[in-house]
Structure 1
C-alpha cells in the first residue's frame, strides 16, 4: 500500500469515527494529522463529507465548509455556522445557475505551521453551473494547491505541507465560535440594480452649465469689442 493510500485510509477512518460518534473527546495526547477537512452543513450542523470534493455535486442552496486543523479523534469542524441566508441572501438567483454558500476556516494559530498565520474565516456565495463539484466551488474563491490527490492549500494557506503527521497532539474539547467575514459573491453575472444619486442630477445639469459659461464669455467679448469700437471712433 502506498503512502498516499495509507494517508487517505487514516483520514477516512477518522471521518468515519467522527460520524459514527464512537470516539469520545479526550484530553490525552495522541497522534494526528494537519490537513484541510471537507464538510457539509446538514440539519443545522456540520458533517464530515462522505466523499471527496471532486465527486460531490452540491445542490442549489447548499452550504459547503472547509477547515484547516490538526485532527485526531475529536471533530474539528468549521467554527462558524453554515448560514446560507447570511452568505447568499443578498445574491440574486440566476437562471441556469446555482448558489452555494462556502465557508472557509483556516483554523487557529495553534494549528498553523511554524511561521504561518491563518486568515479570518470567510463566507462567500459562489454562483456557478448546476453540475459544479465541491472542488470547483472551492476553486472559485482562490487557488487550491493539490498534492497527491489531496487538498493541501486554499488561497495560499498553508504555503507548504500536506496532511503531515503530528505527534503527541492535544485537541481542545470545543472550539470558540467565530464570526464569518462575508465577501462579495463570485461567479455572478447579474447586472447591478440601477441607483440614483445627487451626481446624476449634477451630470444632467452639466450641459446647461457649459452653455451659460459660454454665453457669459460671448457677452464679455462683445462688451470688450464695443468699448474698443467707441475708442476708435473717438480717436478719429
Structure 2
C-alpha cells in the first residue's frame, strides 16, 4: 500500500469514527465544544439518507443511477452530511441515458461560513449530473464536476474551495445540533455526448427574408410597368 493510500485510509477511518452514526437527520442536542477536523467528507445516498463512504473515492465505483455526496465541514462527533437530499431525478432527470455509459448525480456542499477557514467563503451547494464510463470511480466522477486539489492522496479542495489547507485539526469547535437544509443549484450535465438541438426558427422569421425579396421584386415590376405605360402615353400625345 502506497503512502498516499495509507494516508487516505487513515483519514477516512478517522472521519468514520468522528462521524459515527451517519444519517441525514439527527436528534437535536445542545452544541458542545470539542476538537475536530476541517475536511471534505465523502458520502453515498442510501435508503433515503446520506451515509459516510466506507471506501475512498478512488476505490468506490458507484452504479448507474447512484447519488454521490461531498460536504466540507468541521467534523466532530456527529455527522456533517450534505445539506440537501440526494434527489437523482432532480439532478439527472433531464439528462438522457446513453448506451454504454452511466449517469451519476453529484451533490457538492461547500458548507457554511462557520465551517470555513479564515479568508474563505463557501459557495452554493450544487447538483451535477455526470455521464461517464461505467467503470468510473468516485474520484473520476468528482473531477468531472470541477478541479480537485489532491494533497498526500487526500481530497483537499473541490472546484477551488478551499484554496488551501487539508484535513486541518481545529480545537474547541462548536458543531451545531442540526444543519438547515439548502436548495441545490442544479448545473448543466457533464460528459454527455448528446448535443442540444438548435432552436427552431419560427415560420415568420424564416420567411421574412424571402418575403422582403418578393415584395421588392413586385415593387420594381410595378414601377417598371408604370414607367412603360407613362412612356407610351407620352409617345401617343406627340
Q: CA deviation at 1:223?
A: 3.2
Question: Could you say which residue in structure 2 is the equivalent of 1:212?
Answer: 215
Runs (4 or more) in structure 1 with deviation over 4 Å come to 2-8, 193-197, 224-231, 233-236
CA contact (8 A) 1:37 1:68 kept: yes
CA distance in 2, matches of 1:3, 1:132: 20
CA contact (8 A) 2:7 2:152 kept: no
Q: CA deviation at 1:178?
A: 0.9
Per-residue CA deviations over 1:130-164 (Å, capped at 9, x if unaligned) read: 11111111111111111111111111111111111
CA contact (8 A) 2:42 2:57 kept: yes
Q: 1:79 aligns to what SS in structure 2?
A: coil
Per-residue CA deviations over 1:168-207 (Å, capped at 9, x if unaligned) read: 111111111111111121111224367656x244304542
Taking structure 1 as the reference length, what is the TM-score of the superposition? Answer: 0.85
CA distance in 2, matches of 1:56, 1:18: 19
CA contact (8 A) 2:19 2:80 kept: no
160-169 or 25-34, which moves further after superposition? 25-34
Per-residue CA deviations over 1:9-45 (Å, capped at 9, x if unaligned) read: 2541231453457xx9773322111111110001111
Taking a change above 3 Å as real, the CA distance of residues 222 and 116 of structure 1, as seen in their structure-2 partners, is: farther
User: Quick check: 1:166 aligned with 2:170?
Assistant: yes
99-108 or 149-158, which moves further after superposition? 149-158
Question: Could you say which residue in structure 2 is the equivalent of 1:131?
Answer: 135
Question: Could you say which residue in structure 2 is the equivalent of 1:31?
Answer: 35
Q: Structure 2 unaligned runs (5+)?
A: none
Correspondent of 2:111 among 107, 110, 131: 107
User: Quick check: 1:18 aligned with 2:19?
Assistant: yes
CA distance in 2, matches of 1:111, 1:11: 19
CA contact (8 A) 1:14 1:73 kept: no
CA distance in 1, matches of 2:200, 2:140: 37
After superposition, residues 61-140 of structure 1 pair within 5 angstroms as 61-140=65-144
Taking a change above 3 Å as real, the CA distance of residues 138 and 229 of structure 1, as seen in their structure-2 partners, is: farther
Correspondent of 2:60 among 51, 56, 63: 56
Taking structure 2 as the reference length, what is the TM-score of the superposition? Answer: 0.84
RMSD: 2.9
CA contact (8 A) 1:144 1:155 kept: yes
